[in-house]
Amino acid sequence: MKTRDDIESYLLKMGVNHEELGGDIWRLRDGAMENLLISLAGPIVVFRLKIMDLPAAQREALLETLLRLNTTELFHCAFGLEGNAVVLTGALALENLDFNEFQAVIDEMGMVISKEYGVLAKFRAVA
């Protein structure tokens, strides 16, 4: 059975800047991944990254874009809404979590930010 110590060791192994916020929550402090939160929610490791505020205009077009990206570009995570924010989230079972799948979620989030920045930025400009 994996524990919070395994998550800490995975972060150290990856060499990413991070801080423990207390309890079972870590925040990455690494370039494009600034403010990626990783937390334990019972037997689940949750990854959450705020992408942008939900704009007042062109919401329908943005939501359609996010849904299309979910089905064509993402495997380990998905776009969603949390309050008035667009977030990128992922979840893995802690029980048999291995380093490769942990890193895959973080790498995919970083790839999405860099690859889809231009697509999502046009919606920020409208806000």
pLDDT of 37-91, one tens digit each? 999 999 999 999 999 999 989 999 999 999 999 999 999 999 999 999 999 999 9
pTM: 0.91
**Domain around 34:** 4-126
**CATH number, residue 11:** 3.30.1460.10
DSSP the chain: ---HHHHHHHHHHHT--EEEEETTEEEE-SGGGTT-EEEEETTEEEEEEEEEEPPSSSHHHHHHHHHHHHHHT-SSEEEEEETTEEEEEEEEESTT--HHHHHHHHHHHHHHHHHHHHHHHHHHHH-
Is the pLDDT confidence value at 23 over 70? yes
The number of distinct structural domains making up the chain is 1
Nearest to 23 by CA among 46, 53, 52: 46
